[in-house]
Amino acid sequence: MRVFITSLLLAFTSLTVQAEMNIFACEPEWASLSQELGGDKITSYSATTGLQDPHYIQARPSLISKARRADLLVCTGAGLEEAWLPLLQRKSGNADIQVGAAGYFMATDFVQLTGMPALLDRSQGHIHAAGNPHIQTSPIMILAVAKALTNRLQQLDQANQAYYQQRWLDFEQRWQAAIERWQQQATTLIGMPIVVQHDNWDYLISWLQLEKIARLEVKPGVPPTVQDLSNVVKQLKVTPAKLVIHAAYQSPRASNWLIEKTAIDKRVLPFTVGGNEDAGDLFSLFDNTLSLLLEPTK
């Protein structure tokens, strides 16, 4: 009898483990959001870290193995992962995460993108035909994705629909309160003139009502030349800016060159969860971003 009961307990434990939904996230922000919404009903894994450029990742065997076991693929989309995600999907052999399957979730499908290029010409750098995919820099965008992701979790795991609904309502309440707090803190940033290294801050700029004066990269994703940077210096003499910002995963060389030639300050922002030690989840990501932007300038 004892052996029989033990066998039943082991079988129950096995079923409990198997009941967890495996989520393969392409970026840390979506792994963090999945955990917020899924709680103990899911396990989330991020293919990238906050210190990696999500454009350029290799479909390594370890990633293929993770993707093979995934019930749900949560990525940015809009071409951000086009260099590696299709290969990863194909090599995984996992029908659940292929395009069109219920386990295929692209965050940018649920928001309105900006920055669609007028001309598609790869000679002009890393251009995203569908628009700017870096939506995780806006908490407004994240809220829209969270609602859609909740619906997808409920679709895939109908036995726990009520649980996911409660997790969503709790997250929505806390996130809306955080947005109000962040916007109150950021009132002094409205209209602040800034320079960006790459056009990956457009949604943050729009949300905080910053003013983008210049971009260091003439061609997206292509390191600027000395002449490119010299042109920015000339532009700043006419239209001054207070900050140059770049993501933690990006090389600081161009920004450092600029601050040596001008009186401008630099801010290295986390860009996503794990971009620095203080950005451990979605809430602290924006707490830290605002804190850095609000630091006194020269």
Contacts by residues 148-153 (CB-CB < 8 Å, ≥ 24 positions apart)? 148/105, 148/107, 148/109, 148/110, 149/33, 149/34, 149/37, 149/74, 149/105, 149/107, 150/37, 152/72, 152/102, 152/105, 153/21, 153/37, 153/38, 153/41, 153/42, 153/72
Shared domain for 173 and 31, answered yes or no, is yes
Mean pLDDT of the chain: 92
Task: Examine the fold and report which residue of 140, 160, 181 is the final residue of a domain before the chain moves on.
Answer: 181
Q: For residue 230, what pLDDT is reported?
A: 97
pLDDT at 219: 86
The CATH number of the domain holding residue 254 is: 3.40.50.1980
pLDDT number for residue 89: 98
298 in a structural domain: no
Tell me if the pTM is above 0.85: yes
Residues of the chain with pLDDT under 70: 1-19, 118-127
User: Which residue range forms the structural domain that includes residue 203?
Assistant: 187-293
Q: Are residues 100 and 208 in the same domain?
A: no
pLDDT value of residue 125: 53
| DSSP label at residue 250 | S
Residue 233 lies in a domain: yes
Specify the pLDDT at position 115: 86
**Tens of pLDDT along 106-156?**
999 999 999 877 655 555 556 678 899 999 999 999 999 999 999 999 999
Residue 116, pLDDT score:
74
**177 & 222 share domain:** no
